[in-house]
Amino acid sequence: MTGEWTRNHLLKAIVWCFLSYTLLLWISNFAMYFTKMSLSPQSVVEYYLGSEERFLSPRTMQGMLEVLHFHAFAMGILLLTLTHLLLFVPISMRAKAWGICTAFVSGIGDELAGWAVRFVHPGFAVVKVGFFVLLQTVLLVLMVLVARALLFEQPSAYTDSDPEADELES
């Protein structure tokens, strides 16, 4: 591969298919979240700690471990793939670094915040909501950046595309 991913039609087709699946995941992630709770910290507390009024049982450690086991792998692969594609988008290395760090921190934060609500303190419900919103936002931004690079056939930017950094290297 030369790195010119926007000129390889088969590679573009694969990336578009991947982005389509990722969009479905993004939409279903919203749907699943909002069928269980809302952006209200109280709804998050009720989901993880249970609610007698709503006949909700607290989340069990075994159930949470099963979800974490699958999500740790699946989200890791998703974020690895999206952030790898981000490397080819013609934006500054600083923006790429922020995108990569934010994606992985929000992903792990979203997973672990539920554990903190359930086993540490209900106050972590605000953190859970924040990480959910941040993760969904980052996923959308990454998808849009990659799609934009494909749509407008922007040149590969695997290297630094930050003019300030180019001057520093000279």
Which pLDDT does position 154 carry in this prediction?
Answer: 60
8 Å CB contact between 118 and 125: no
Angle among Cα 11, 12, 16 to the nearest 5 degrees reads 120
Query: H/E element holding 89?
Result: none
- Is the pLDDT at 148 greater than 50? The verdict is yes
Query: What is the number of other CB atoms lying within 10 angstroms of the CB of residue 90?
Result: 16
Which pLDDT does position 9 carry in this prediction?
Answer: 80
- Is the pLDDT at 166 greater than 50? The verdict is no
Query: What is the number of other CB atoms lying within 10 angstroms of the CB of residue 147?
Result: 17
> What residue segments make up the domains of the chain, in order of their start?
5-162
- Is the pLDDT at 161 greater than 80? The verdict is no
pTM, two decimals, is 0.80
Rounded Cα distance between 97 and 169, Å, is 18
Query: Does residue 10 or residue 126 have the better pLDDT?
Result: 126
- Is the pLDDT at 162 greater than 60? The verdict is no
Which pLDDT does position 12 carry in this prediction?
Answer: 84
Rama region for 28: left / alpha / beta (φ>0; ψ in -120 to 50; rest): alpha
Rounded Cα distance between 170 and 152, Å, is 30
Rounded Cα distance between 41 and 65, Å, is 22
Q: Each residue of 68-102: pLDDT tens digit?
A: 999 999 999 999 999 999 998 888 899 999 999 99
